[in-house]
Structure 1
Amino acid sequence: MKKTFVRGTWQKNRAFSPAIVTEGGKIIWIAGHTGQKDDEGKSLAGNFEAQTYQTFRNIEATLKEAGGSLKDIVTMTVFLTDARNTTRMTEIRTELFGSDFPASAAITVTGFADPNMLIEIQGIAVVE
């Protein structure tokens, strides 16, 4: 599978690529994932950073089961309850993805089915 990142200019500072071109590979459609509880079942209510890291860990576990990894994500949609958390989410995404960012959109919502949720991420991955 060949993956080409369209780098853009200002997008790098927001930790996303304006486009990714893939050729070949298997597509994994990632349902919305959340992280309002840690791996031991402890509530992460009110802790945006912890929920974001847990959300990515949950996505990573799903992708591993499907034969992929976080690095295979080509696009994601991030839903946030507070737009002020967008910068922290960007910093975490930079930490996790390095310089090869997925294409992305961040959308502020008024709430989720579980009021303890602060973030939800869905996406698409392409693996060989």
Structure 2
Amino acid sequence: MDKTPSEIIHANQAPEPVGLYPHARKVGNLLFLSGVGPREKGTSQIPGVTLDEAGAVVSYDIEAQCHSVFRNVRAILEEAGSAWENLVDVTVFLTNMKADFQTYNRLYAQYFQDCQPCRTTVEVNALPTPIAIELKCIATI
């Protein structure tokens, strides 16, 4: 049985994963990104998020999180030898579709105007850290 070789990618410019998984994996001419959130590299800081002493979200800014998650995706793509323009499929997870979809959709249109990958957007009850958005992407190399 033939097994297509793959390469694990750990991007130095992206936030550290919160578990045992790579930032991305190359298989043939495809690049599969693990879920990417808006955390900043080298810290647990999430742009636009205010937490109380117990770690519960007091407030958040979906616009700040969108900009940050898009930057993180771009960093992983570029370090893996791909590019923003090579995105072919994006799955977006939002924790509050009703409150955040309009802002997210407006920013998404700005960032993806030229490459227009396929997109699926779903609402989830929660994400592993106190974030409001996460992207799962596939790109070509």
TM-score calculated relative to the size of structure 1: 0.71
1:1-128 alignment, distance < 5 Å: 26-35=29-38, 37-38=39-40, 41=43, 42-44=45-47, 45=49, 46-84=60-98, 85-114=100-129, 116-127=130-141
| Relative contact order, higher structure (CA 8 A, sep 6+) | 1
1:38-83 per-position Cα deviation (integer Å, ceiling 9, x unaligned): 4574432111111111111001000001111111110010000001
- The answer as to whether partners of 1:33 and 1:120 remain within 8 angstroms in 2 is yes
2:138 and 2:78 map into 1 onto residues whose CA distance is 14
CA RMSD, 1 decimal: 1.7
- The answer as to whether partners of 2:40 and 2:46 remain within 8 angstroms in 1 is yes
Q: Looking at CA atoms only, which structure, 1 or 2, has the larger radius of gyration?
A: 2
Higher helix share: 1
Segments of 5+ residues of structure 2 without an aligned counterpart are 1-27, 50-59
2:125 and 2:80 map into 1 onto residues whose CA distance is 31
1:74 and 1:103 map into 2 onto residues whose CA distance is 6
TM-score calculated relative to the size of structure 2: 0.65
SS of 1:33's partner is coil
Counting matched residue pairs gives: 101
